[in-house]
Amino acid sequence: MELTQERLKQLVEYNPTTGLMKWRVNRKKATVGRVFPPNWEGYPQGTIDGKLYRVHRLAFLYVTGRYPAGNVEVDHIDGNRANNKWDNLRLCNSTQNKRNRKRPVASKNPARNVTAIIGTDGTVLGYAVRIRGNSPRMDKVWGGYHKTLSGAIARAAELRNELHGEYAKHV
């Protein structure tokens, strides 16, 4: 049986302002008023009628009456997986969603889409800017070679805005 907006609203309460989803009824592992807990990745989720759902996807069903299906993903605009406020969620495709990912903490690059060019003696000779285009398989777009880190960062931001629009992530 497919989950409907009506069934969802019988079982849970979603507050678009806070982004919290709480149970309206007592269930096996949940009591009335209990908030959906985050999984190991940080996404709040819960099991409804034997199927596991993430809150950001349920929020769309709750508010619009349509569950994001197929290749449609739900993006957290601010990158915070636990922030399910309605104004922080937007529908997107996989490529757009990847554009909005946070930069890995362990990244050795000095900035997003900027690579330091290191000489044989270990000194930094300059910085290269490369950004993946609008398709998952598209080759990287060359942003040029820059003598200064600030110049490379500025060019990378400019290219991200041009290529990725509202999904560009600069941090």
User: What is the CATH number for 71?
Assistant: 3.90.75.20
In a domain, residue 107? The reply is no
Written as one string, the DSSP assignment of 4-60 is -HHHHHHHEEE-TTT--EEESS--SS--TTPBPPB-TTS-BEEEETTEEEEHHHHHH
Tokens of 36: 């959906």
Average pLDDT (28-45) is 89
Domain count, the chain: 2
In a domain, residue 170? The reply is no
In a domain, residue 108? The reply is no
* Digit-coded pLDDT (tens) for 113-131: 888 888 888 888 888 888 8
The whole-angstrom separation of Cα 152 and Cα 111 is 9
Task: Name the pLDDT band for 57 (thresholds 50, 70, 90).
Answer: very high
Q: Percent of the chain, pLDDT > 90?
A: 42
User: Do residues 94 and 128 share a domain?
Assistant: no
Task: Give the sign of the dihedral formed by CA 144, CA 145, CA 150, CA 153.
Answer: positive
In a domain, residue 43? The reply is yes
Q: Containing domain of residue 84, as a range?
A: 5-99
